[in-house]
Amino acid sequence: MCGGRGHYRLSGMTEDQNVVRLSAVRKDYGDTAALDGVDLEIRAGEAVAVMGPSGCGKSTLLNMVAALDRPTSGTVVVQGEDLGQLNETRRALFRRHRIGMVFQFFNLLDDLPALDNVALSAQLVGTPARQARARALELLDELGVADRRNIYPAALSGGERQRVAVARALMNRPALLLADEPTGALDSRSGEQVMDLLLDLNQIGQTLLIVTHDQRLADRCASRVVELADGRVTHERTLERTA
């Protein structure tokens, strides 16, 4: 669907460079350690899947990389930015410009139609409404849901909602796309579509970090799988993609 577009790759960035670097990251909730000394590096163009049982710290790790939460200790560097050093406003600007996020339950704004949900990310940056809508329409077209642009989220299917969410995440051309159980709330057919979409994106150079329970998703989309248990990285393996 979207082969041949190199504009998702950040200029000046090679595949050897680390987009993400976590060093001895620890996150405590009271007496419980959600992450316990995690080290992780993700290079540009990689698609990394983080897997593990419930409560192993997958979502906490994703929240650290997305600057949604702060580590208790250790450093999280994304695209050269030490997230621990950023104040709230700069963390928001970081999220706005450097990353895109896709959630299990889509998190679309229910009182905006699909087109305006996608355009919103660009409008927050100050892009004029007409220009933002034009780019949003382009993305919806590329993801195959342009004909649903005026439909409100409540009337979209799960797969359509997730495609709209992916379009929104790509709106500001992020260096890193984060996906938290992106197929977790979808039926198998919609899940397949989303997997294809993520694979296509990675193949054109989009760096991916996917948190999932779904072994099929990891096998299909990831170039590397990181397994977590009790807040620690227990295993890492590189995959040959099945598709």
Q: How far apart are CA 90 and CA 103, in angstroms?
A: 22
List the interface residues with another protein, window 104-123 (CB under 8 A). Answer: 105, 107-113, 116, 119-121, 123
Nearest distance in Å: CB 61, another protein: 11
Q: Which stretch binds another protein (CB under 8 A): 2-10, 94-102, 208-216, 233-241?
A: 94-102
Work out which of 1, 124, 134, 243 binds another protein, going by CB under 8 A: 124
In Å, the largest CA–CA distance within the chain is 50
The 37-76 contact track toward another protein, x by CB under 8 A, reads ----------------------x---x--x-xx-------
Work out which of 9, 43, 58, 133 binds another protein, going by CB under 8 A: 133
DSSP β-bridge partners for residue 26: 36, 73
Q: How far apart are CA 243 and CA 232, in angstroms?
A: 30
The residue among 124 and 243 lying less far from another protein, judged by its C-beta, is: 124
Residue identified by tokens 């700069």 is: 90
Count, residues near another protein per rule CB under 8 A: 39
Q: Which stretch binds another protein (CB under 8 A): 43-51, 92-100, 140-148, 189-197?
A: 92-100
Distance of CA 30 to the CA centre of its chain: 28
The 180-219 contact track toward another protein, x by CB under 8 A, reads ----------------------------------------
Residue identified by tokens 């997958």 is: 58
Q: How far apart are CA 9 and CA 175, in angstroms?
A: 7
Determine the straight-line distance between the first and last CA of the chain, rounded to whole angstroms: 15
Residue 228 corresponds to which tokens in the numbers above? Answer: 């977590």
Q: How far apart are CA 82 and CA 46, in angstroms?
A: 20
Work out which of 93, 204, 229, 239 binds another protein, going by CB under 8 A: 93
Interface with another protein includes 8 (CB under 8 A)? no
Residue 114 corresponds to which tokens in the numbers above? Answer: 């699909």
Strands, E assignment, 5-141: 18-29, 32-43, 47-51, 73-78, 81-82, 99-102
Residues that bind another protein (CB under 8 A): 59, 63, 66, 68-69, 88-89, 92-93, 95-97, 101, 103, 105, 107-113, 116, 119-121, 123-126, 128-130, 133, 152, 154, 168-169, 172
